Amino acid sequence: MKILILGSGGREYSVGLAIANEKAGHELFFQPGNGATNNLGTNLNIKDYNELADFAKENNIELTIVGPEAPLVDGVVDIFKAKGLTIFGPSKEAAQLEGSKVYMKNFLAKYNIPTARYLETSSIEEAFRFCETLPTPVVVKADGLCAGKGVIIAQTHDEAKKAIGDMLSGKSFGDAGKKVIVEEFLDGYELSMFAICDGDDFILLQAAQDHKRLEDGDKGPNTGGMGAYAPTPLVDDELYEKVKQRIIRPTLDGMKKEGAPFEGVLFIGIMVVNNEPITLEFNVRFGDPECEILMPLMTSSVSDMFYKAATNDLANINVEFSKEYAVGVVMASENYPYGSSTPAEIIVDEVHHEEIEKYTHISYAGVSLEDDKLYATGGRVLVCIGKGSTIKEARDRAYLRCGQVHFAGKKFRTDIAYQAL
Ligand code: AMP
Ligand code: GLY
């Protein structure tokens, strides 16, 4: 099958790698891809979605997989489907579960799906009044997409009011902050869960934990994610069942009732409070770097799973997972997440060690190819992934691999998966 993957990060590389590893003769295309995806397939440069759909049509692309949220929120799925193409991802309308926090919170409330107590408003007085009724810390969220920066955990009511004021005046996030959510702070531990959905049915992948802060010990600024591991032993069968029954099932049923059946990856940000899963947020795509560790844990065909999900046929699939653990450590460039860094050549030592060769690999993200040399040109440059029969073994192997990667200014956390060790 010819498969097109949209996106340029480690997430898209890892989906491509998993499909390439099936050795089923699939031919891969990436739009736009990165400096390493051209080892897996062909990088395209077709930015316009209509032109891209025409390319897919003319070249008999049988499946398109969308990585990031932006094209989904922009309606790429609707454009492809209108041309009769098979594409895995939610429609523009369903993508509002991520694109608008107000849409998401109101949806959760309407269908009685557990979430933090909140108020949605564009009135500063109303927001202030509700804020006063909540204990501190208070959580303030901008409605629209803010590249992961639209959530403020305010330690005092004054700080919360300042955040509300800055958002509603358009000062902090422009139009994305014209409506705000003020909500109660939940104290517990956070999980990322991913359900592959076809509108009616779903497959829940193993629960993962992300590490959002830049530095060891969860210090420093928030990032897109500095590392992840799965499955997490913090989740037992009972918790998986609660997530399925109380969150995913009612979400799929509710979206159908809303006339926007959910197809694609439902990424549920969960806070577990007293053993109860509470929905923090939805995203409508894989997490990055969570995808990089979940793909290698799948022992059944990934391309088949995406194809069946995109053709409303998940009822007829048996998905299998490895019994191993995977840990992914993100290597970032010098100035991440504050700003861009000078491109630095990446040297990866040749692997002569059987353990490293067999149980580790690299998923490339912010890299460019120039004169046959690979350069670190993005914020998060690559992810070193280790697998093992214990989390510790997987973690140790991931760090062995990190030791073989060299570029000026590289930085990474040294404590990924600490919560499970
Ligand atoms: P979100 O973009 O909604 O996932 O928020 C980003 C991060 O803020 C989450 O991953 C949580 O760590 C934190 N967060 C969001 N909402 C809450 C809440 N109600 N209580 C505690 N932490 C929260
Ligand atoms: N790693 C979290 C995210 O992709 O949003």
- The three state secondary structure string of 54-115 is HHHHHCCCCEEEECCHHHHHCCHHHHHHHCCCCEECCCCCCCHHHHCHHHHHHHHHHCCCCE
For residues 195 and 290, membership in a common domain is answered with: yes
CATH number where 53 lies: 3.40.50.20
Query: Which residue is listed with tokens 């577990």?
Result: 272
Cα 149 to averaged position of ligand 2 atoms, centre (Å):
12
Does residue 10's CB lie within 6 angstroms of at least one atom of ligand 2? no
CATH number where 377 lies: 3.90.600.10
C-beta neighbour count of 80 within 10 angstroms: 27
For residues 242 and 312, membership in a common domain is answered with: yes
Ligand showing the shortest atom-to-Cα distance for residue 224: 2
Cα 223 to averaged position of ligand 2 atoms, centre (Å):
9
For residues 167 and 236, membership in a common domain is answered with: no
Name the residue among 145, 5, 193 with its Cα closest to residue 88.
Answer: 5
Residue nearest atom 7 of ligand 1, based on CA coordinates: 151
Question: How would you label 361-390 residue by residue, b for 16+ Cβ within 10 Å and e otherwise?
Answer: bbbbbbbebeeeebbbbbbbbbbbbbbbee
Instruction: Determine the Cα–Cα distance for residues 134 and 140; give it in Å rounded to an integer.
Output: 12
Residue 414 lies in a domain: no
Residue 272 lies in a domain: yes
Residue 163 lies in a domain: yes
Residue 46 lies in a domain: yes
Residues 6 or more apart whose Cβ sits within 8 Å of residue 390: 325
For residues 336 and 280, membership in a common domain is answered with: no
HSE of 384 in the Cβ direction (CA atoms, 13 Å)?
25
Query: Which residue is listed with tokens 């489907």?
Result: 81
For residues 288 and 373, membership in a common domain is answered with: no
402 phi and psi angles, rounded to 5 deg: -55, -35
Residue 21 lies in a domain: yes
Cα 164 to averaged position of ligand 2 atoms, centre (Å):
24
Of 90, 110, 138, which residue constitutes the final position of a domain?
90
Does residue 190's CB lie within 6 angstroms of at least one atom of ligand 1? yes
Residue 58 lies in a domain: yes
Q: In this predicted structure, what is the pLDDT of residue 176?
A: 76
Domain that holds residue 235: 189-316
Does residue 292's CB lie within 6 angstroms of at least one atom of ligand 2? no
Question: Measured from the CA of 288, which atom of ligand 2 is nearest?
Answer: 4
DSSP helix/strand/coil, 413: coil
Question: Measured from the CA of 148, which atom of ligand 2 is nearest?
Answer: 5
For residues 243 and 148, membership in a common domain is answered with: no
Does residue 120's CB lie within 6 angstroms of at least one atom of ligand 1? no
Instruction: Determine the Cα–Cα distance for residues 414 and 230; give it in Å rounded to an integer.
Output: 17
Cα 184 to averaged position of ligand 1 atoms, centre (Å):
10
For residues 233 and 212, membership in a common domain is answered with: yes
Does residue 67's CB lie within 6 angstroms of at least one atom of ligand 2? no
CATH number where 140 lies: 3.30.1490.20
For residues 245 and 264, membership in a common domain is answered with: yes
Instruction: Determine the Cα–Cα distance for residues 232 and 41; give it in Å rounded to an integer.
Output: 32
Instruction: Determine the Cα–Cα distance for residues 375 and 251; give it in Å rounded to an integer.
Output: 42
Of 178, 208, 224, which residue constitutes the final position of a domain?
178
Do 196 and 321 touch, CB atoms closer than 8 A?
no
Residue nearest atom 8 of ligand 1, based on CA coordinates: 151
**Can you give the pLDDT of all 421 residues of the chain as single tens digits?**
999 999 999 999 999 999 999 999 999 999 999 999 999 999 999 999 999 999 999 999 999 999 999 999 999 999 999 999 999 999 999 999 998 888 999 999 999 999 999 999 999 999 999 999 999 999 999 888 777 678 899 999 999 999 999 999 888 888 877 889 999 999 999 999 999 999 999 999 999 999 999 999 999 988 999 999 999 999 999 999 999 999 999 999 999 999 999 999 999 999 999 999 999 999 999 999 999 999 999 999 999 999 999 999 999 999 999 999 999 999 999 999 999 999 999 999 998 889 899 999 999 999 999 999 999 999 999 999 999 999 999 999 999 999 999 999 999 999 999 999 8
Instruction: Determine the Cα–Cα distance for residues 100 and 237; give it in Å rounded to an integer.
Output: 31
CATH number where 227 lies: 3.30.470.20
Residue 289 lies in a domain: yes
Does residue 33's CB lie within 6 angstroms of at least one atom of ligand 2? no
Instruction: Determine the Cα–Cα distance for residues 29 and 41; give it in Å rounded to an integer.
Output: 5
Question: Measured from the CA of 183, which atom of ligand 1 is nearest?
Answer: 19
Name the residue among 97, 99, 76, 54 with its Cα closest to residue 7.
Answer: 76
Of 270, 299, 316, which residue constitutes the final position of a domain?
316
The residue whose CB lies within 8 Å of the most ligand 1 atoms, and thus the one to mutate among 278, 281, 282, 288, is: 281
Residues 6 or more apart whose Cβ sits within 8 Å of residue 221: 213, 214, 337, 338
How far CA 317 is from CA of 40, 41, 143, 196, 204, in Å, comes to 26, 26, 37, 12, 13
For residues 236 and 312, membership in a common domain is answered with: yes
Question: Measured from the CA of 141, which atom of ligand 1 is nearest?
Answer: 3
Give the pair of three-digit tokens for residue 102.
Answer: 């107000």
Ligand showing the shortest atom-to-Cα distance for residue 287: 2
Rg for the chain, CA atoms, rounded: 21
For residues 264 and 205, membership in a common domain is answered with: yes
Cα 151 to averaged position of ligand 2 atoms, centre (Å):
14
For residues 39 and 17, membership in a common domain is answered with: yes
Residue 342 lies in a domain: yes
For residues 195 and 296, membership in a common domain is answered with: yes
Q: In this predicted structure, what is the pLDDT of residue 148?
A: 66
Q: How many domains does the chain have?
A: 4
